[in-house]
Amino acid sequence: MNTIGLFGVLAGSAVAVALFLSSFFLSVKRKEDPQNLWLGLILLAIALRIGKSIFYFLLNDMAPFGLALGFLGLASIGPLTLLMIRHSSGFKWKNSWHFIIPVAGAIACFIVSPSPWETYLYMSATAVLFVYLVFSTLHLLKLENGMIKSWNKKVLIMVAGVWAALVYQHLAYSMMDYAWGAIIASVFLYWIFIQSFRTGVFPKGISATLPDQTVSQVRDAFENQQLFKEQGMNLQQFSARLEVPSYLVTRSVKQLYDRSFPETLNHFRVEEVKQMLLDPKKEHLKIESLAYDVGFASPSAFYAAFKKCTGQTPTAYQKEAELLSA
């Protein structure tokens, strides 16, 4: 096998691994934890960058298109990594400015190809990636210890390893050296794949044992801290407060209360309102006011949840309770 063929196999294997992991996190795990969206996009961006070389060396007629996609991927790795660490709750449009350079640079690569400017654009994007790595590391250090920080650290190590591989390729003097850059990137992609298994991202089955500490944290958050009373509380915010991955929170809630997370949230809120409806000290308060006090965002959401949990309206429940106590 010649050098170009060897490079194609090495780069192709790395792209295949990245695309497989990306599709898994974007399609299967995305609903469990918003951070999986970021990780899926990071892996997709890495796949585009490594795949660029396949277009460039094996599909020469499509080189401009491959260069544009490769730059888009390369320049997006840094912003996606930073946003994953800073914003676990999902994408916010105010952060769109981070992707001006990736989009503009991709268009420029397509227009100028073939030209020496391609190399300068790629080298600049690699330098910018280093800057994003620095800021991502600084934000990671601000996080408290926990499973989320541990996983973000692993992702950051992977991205740093890929960046080192890209720098090596920029310094390469031969095609074989360039191929070694692909090998380095592949090693870190396989490493994150293995880490995914070790940290339970690929669950072995629903019967897999949950950490006792995690289950205790979730119980305490509901029963003692009463996080359900906070306005707008959802699975992502709950997970971030506990620094526990969302999928573990979901499984813990199911084990503890045999309900989904939203059902459990509403159950605790309704139980609080039921107690307040029977409290003489709160009889002067409007029912809607009680609903807001326990975390419901609107009266309609409260009435629907109350009816689902009790089979009655709040007023009917209150009157029935008064008759029984008379």
In the chain the domains, ranked by start, together with CATH numbers, are: 3-198 (1.20.1070.10), 212-325 (1.10.10.60)
With beta carbons less than 8 A apart as the criterion, state whether 190 and 227 touch.
no
261, 275 Cβ separation under 8 angstroms: no
pLDDT, position 204? 45
Give the pLDDT confidence score for residue 4 in this predicted structure.
55
pLDDT at 240: 81
* Proportion of the chain above pLDDT 90, given as a percent: 25
The predicted structure's pLDDT at residue 205 = 42
Predicted pLDDT at 21: 82
Q: How far is CA 324 from CA 90, 150, 278, 310, in A?
A: 48, 54, 12, 16
Per the CB < 8 A criterion, the answer to whether 75 and 49 are in contact is no
**Residue length of the chain:** 326
Q: How many other CB atoms are there within 10 angstroms of residue 218's CB atom?
A: 27
The low-confidence residues of the chain, meaning pLDDT below 50, are: 203-207
* pLDDT recorded at residue 12: 74
DSSP 135-159: HHHHHHHHSPSSHHHHHHHHHHHHH
Packing angle of the helix pair 299-310, 314-325 (nearest 10 deg): 50
Q: Tokens 């990071």, residue?
A: 42
Give CA–CA dist 286/271, Å, rounded.
Answer: 17
Does pTM surpass 0.85? no
How far is 252 from 115, CA to CA, in rounded Å?
56
Residue with tokens 């070790």: 198
Contact by Cβ (8 Å): 50, 61:
no
The values of phi and psi at residue 285, to 5°, are: -85, 145
Looking at residue 200, its pLDDT comes to 56
* Structural tokens at position 74: 């390369």
Report the Cα 257 to chain-centroid distance in Å. 26
What pLDDT, on a 0 to 100 scale, did the predictor assign at position 54?
A: 64
| 12 phi/psi in degrees, rounded to 5 | -65, -40
pLDDT at 132: 96
- For residue 278, the model assigns a pLDDT of 84
Alpha helices in 143-258 (DSSP H): 147-170, 175-198, 212-223, 235-242, 246-257
Residue 262 phi/psi, 5-degree rounding, is -60, -40
Please enumerate in sequence order all residues whose Cβ is within 8 A of that of 211, keeping only pairs 6 or more positions apart, or say none. 248
DSSP state for residue 59 in the 8-state scheme: -
